Chains A and B, each alone.
Chain A
Amino acid sequence: MEKVKTLDDLKKLKEQLKSTIELREKSNNPESHVQVKVAMATCGIASGAREIMSFFMDELRKRNIDAIVSQTGCMGYCYAEPTIELTIPGHEPVVYGNVTKAKADEIIEKHIKNGILVDGIIPVTYQNINKK
């Protein structure tokens, strides 16, 4: 094993290792992060929710956006799968339906980065899925 010879070595090592527990760090204060919850019930998975979730995870990381991507159960909009719920800190959650990779890209660029709502919002009789 490589020895840590200087404090800078240690700091570099920390930066490399940070991602291993990043997920846990963020979950510690979810409300201060952008949260993307992907509905991953059977219907969602069948419509490609898994790919959408991976897309969000990879792209957000690539674009240096601090976000928590998690899965959740069926939101009840099976007609519009894959669906995601997006929460920007300080704002009410928004649910998007029929999310494709292209749509996801648009959501990241416009909504997450600039706060501009994107087409495809399900105007719901909204109920927070975690309220249960």
Chain B
Amino acid sequence: MIKITIDHKPIEVEKGTTVLKAAQQAGIHIPTLCYMHLEDLNIEHKPGGCRICVVEVKGRKNLAPACATECLDGMEINTHTIRVLNARKTVMELILSDHPTDCLVCAKSGNCDLQSMAHQLGIRKIHFEGEQSTYREDTSPSIIRDMDKCIMCRRCETMCNNFQTVGALSAVNRGFMAVVAPAFEQNLDHSVCTYCGQCVAVCPTGALTEVDHTNSVIRALADPTKTVIVQTAPAVRAALGEEFGLEAGTLVTGKLVSALRQLGFDYVFDTDWAADLTIMEEGTELLDRLARHLNGDKTVALPILTSCCPAWVKFFEHQFPDMIDIPSSARSPQQMFGAIAKTYFADKIKVDRKNLVVVSIMPCLAKKYECSREELGHDGNPDVDFSISTRELANLIKQSNIDFTALPDQDFDNPLGESTGAAVIFGTTGGVIEAAVRTAYELHTKKKLPKIDFHELRGLDGIRQATIDFDGLPINIGIAHGLGNARKLLEDIKAGKSKFHAIEIMACPGGCIGGGGQPLHHGNSKVIKARHEAIYKEDALKPIRKSHENPYITKIYEEFLGKPMSEKSHHLLHTIYFDRSKKNVIISDEHQAD
């Protein structure tokens, strides 16, 4: 332990503690802008670039950034001398002098770290004027990059490169022209971007935002010729409340259903129902591959990898094109839902698929991209028409004057609204594989599970593993969340070192609860942890907790699909993957080659 003084308060801290953390211990909150520490996910970003957190350290010539300066014994630190306050304000004014002042109409207004910081520091005038950096706006299927608003905190770069190892973004150019951009400053849709949206999730300004589909949804709802149905993903119910001032981890499933109904959706369904369906298909595929593998079939690829996460799918299509036969061919629950809705359900209510609008509420931005994938539709009519994020839904609810917290709890419609606890846990890391195990175990062993909760598969560690005893047959399970962690498991598979039979992969930290479309965590990983716990709480409360026991699932196989992996299933519920590594980035330019 070492002794230091912060703002005349003597405290003791552990060796290696930064001034920022030490100050927090002393109850002093030094403002930060570029710094980000998601403690529970082990992500720390401290480039020391914004210089907002500077403090005065006695004996040092220059001010020191609190985020990166380590405490030394006897250090005397002052966090609010006139020198510090002047420097902090001046730096803030500099940052604002290179930032558009269109806050009133900015997507991030009211939820913007830069805006709150300007308020907190009491900025009333920007003393500097001059050139502002401007860039071409880039709109991709999921993400809008408006880099005029970038303040070079570089959080997105860290998420994209260090955490996700996607490498779509890098700092480019230098000095005043420096900005974070894809290669050749082309649009994201020309890059290896997976649309995981983690860059959006950490962006402190309006530089990175989602493509907003709320207006399309409003228009569809207003169109009398359309039947509009909605599905909502498991992770949404564990986070939406935050947008309305509820504590993180508050489950709002019933209010969510009420709100959607009030918004005017004709049927309010649940993606969870499709998650149960996914388990039937994916679980069966796992058992099938396993059986063939155990029978010595060398052509069968193991481990089987989950395929619910569209960012993960795009990731392996770009980065591991020679391994596209390993993931399960099962579509994601969003797309299974869409396919069933536009066939089975459309027939049922006698509506042409063209007049049936399927909207999904997702914690995710990659889901928007997934909707646009051509193979996930029929004759140019997508199986899911619009995917909006948790944040967009919150906005839609607010726009529609709905007092969310006062809403009564309601239930989903049927037949596509009934689900099990196994489906709910799809929303967090480890959940899909636990749901699959619950079903696969019983299908394989023909015995009832001795216990439903597989605590060995839960948690927030980046890579986890467990061996589950399938009545004498040990099944090795791997779990990774974060594409950087996924990469490690894939490298092992490639090198022939993997001992797993099945691996669950989610692109976002914590799984879908930490998705790029969720309410912003503002660097507080406790939020994600609380959502994680809420998901398991919901599971525990469900009367049915195994997918194969969902009566509406049984019913659809009886009425429509036949059995898992049937020809109809293949057609509607499974998909194919593409090698995207060869796609050359082509420069659009005025110059022409000779």
User: A and B: direct contact (Cβ < 8 Å)?
Assistant: no
